[in-house]
Structure 1
């Protein structure tokens, strides 16, 4: 366990961390940040993947925790969000033609990153990132030694209707208007954050304010609603994960952290995921945690990180040098 650090500047790129881009085969470049472990990365390597509309700056504090534990850490944007361009018709709406675009990007990054970094090799992901990692495991496109999923978007919070019905409604919406148009309203004033957004994400007002600071500091990170095309493809991808035998075939140890107070993704779907995976484990939280578990108030965040550390020590111990 790394020694506790009194302060960490969540509003600056840490010394020793390097920001760069990774060129995909089709020429699209995605942002990444790499940070060697405090002891040279002898503990292994963690690839962190954020959620929809997210950016890695929000998770620097968590990357620091792993860095100090000796992990070599990398985090990367998804194509079409944060500092990795846009795929829709404007700079705010998040759009994708199909989730397989993202899983193909992950497979490409994974192959190169794994070859260049020490093992064991871990994938950690939040929200939509967790969904995409599960898709990549089911295919399979990646072969990590272990996976950590924080509030994974296996299912979305919303009407308790069958996925087929929800997808059909979303598909209709892509036909009666441009599939790239926003699927929900962002705020009364364009570009202004919704007043209740922080209450959906974390109890920690200062950590939430960090996100707003980074959005002002780096305007290219700003993203609002998903498109109707994104919604329809999200439901289609969720149906793929719900297929009989899909998750049951995954033999990778997976730790799922989820909270019953989540109002953005389905806690019930996350619980089912941990139960369906042959090597799945669950850390279930309650009203003390909102969606961004790794950016919660210190007691919750500390518990989550301790659970992750214990899981990785057990299923992916340091390799002999």
Structure 2
């Protein structure tokens, strides 16, 4: 069930419905602040035109194996793919004693992960040019990458980026202040759970907020069952404070002009996880970017039905594949 590349190193999980793409290499690298992260490299397919490397960054709770199908989509277009698990999730090092809880001290810790991956793995081991593809929380990190260092990636493609959350009792900055105050009094590692949150299972497909595709949803469930240590559950107070403060920064008038890299954001019309109106608002304020709303789609655009995924990949081709020839 598991493909081991290095007997002394990490492995990639394979299940019948989710095989490891051919030629995969998996390993660990250290970030600049010495956190150990799991990464994987997938070479472009032989015989296809060289187009460069897709750097794929995931959302909160996700891990490399969840994206094998999408990795193959990119490889079928002539790209190599490089990806890694963020600190605190997947096969990477956990930051607090409870491995099931999502935690970072500061949201910039994720930027450290991405910058270190670019320096330690992308530049020495992967063929340029480099294109950044980020989903949800990874999309928020990608926005900060585009605003901070415009020479790292030629283009940035985002799937349902986490730029704001709807149905919150306060603004993003207000929520950040509350979480920071709770962290200050020693509650930073306390999980934040909602009554409606349920672990994915065969019984939770109906009404789930992620995807309308049953087979892909059950594939996610099967991966979690096969290796539960890859999964995390609730975020902590500290994580919420860090994420809310980052989202509040994106909403300011000073943030959009900082992005000078060609950038495309896809939003899901039926997203119940992140705010589609906030993505639209940001897209209208970008100088070198724009946004597209995918009708009928839920949050996990890369895990959606074939019809919706076809629209997502068509947007990817128009924005990246055709520009990389």
Deviations along 1:265-316, whole A, 9 cap, x unmatched? Answer: 1111111222222121222023x211001100110011111110111134x3
Shift of 1:192: 7.2
- Residue equivalent to 1:251: 260
2:63 aligned with 1:55: yes
> 1:31·1:76 contact (CA, 8 Å) conserved in 2?
yes
Deviations along 1:115-164, whole A, 9 cap, x unmatched? Answer: 43222210001000000111122223762100110000011232264323
2:73 aligned with 1:65: yes
- Residue equivalent to 2:187: 178
CA distance in 1, matches of 2:186, 2:130: 43
- Residue equivalent to 1:280: 289
CA distance in 2, matches of 1:111, 1:140: 13
What TM-score do you get using the length of structure 2 for normalisation?
0.87
CA distance in 1, matches of 2:207, 2:150: 34
CA distance in 2, matches of 1:142, 1:41: 24
2:28 aligned with 1:21: yes
Please give the root-mean-square deviation of Cα atoms over the aligned residues, in Å: 2.4
Residues 10, 256 of structure 1: alpha-carbon distance in 2 compared, 3 angstrom cutoff: farther
- Residue equivalent to 2:105: 97
CA distance in 2, matches of 1:261, 1:145: 30
CA distance in 1, matches of 2:207, 2:307: 18
- Residue equivalent to 1:294: 302
Q: How does 1:1-321 map to 2 (within 5 A)?
A: 10-39=17-46, 42-112=50-120, 113-140=122-149, 143-159=152-168, 161-175=170-184, 178-185=187-194, 195=204, 199-286=208-295, 288-314=296-322, 316-318=323-325
What secondary structure, in the 3-state scheme, does the structure 1 residue paired with 2:100 have?
coil
CA distance in 1, matches of 2:260, 2:123: 19
Gaps of 5+ in 2: 1-14
- Residue equivalent to 2:8: none
Where does structure 1 differ by over 6 angstroms across 4 or more consecutive aligned residues?
186-189
Shift of 1:255: 1.0
What secondary structure, in the 3-state scheme, does the structure 1 residue paired with 2:164 have?
coil
> 1:125·1:148 contact (CA, 8 Å) conserved in 2?
yes
Number of residues paired by the alignment? 308
CA distance in 1, matches of 2:218, 2:205: 13
CA distance in 2, matches of 1:169, 1:33: 37
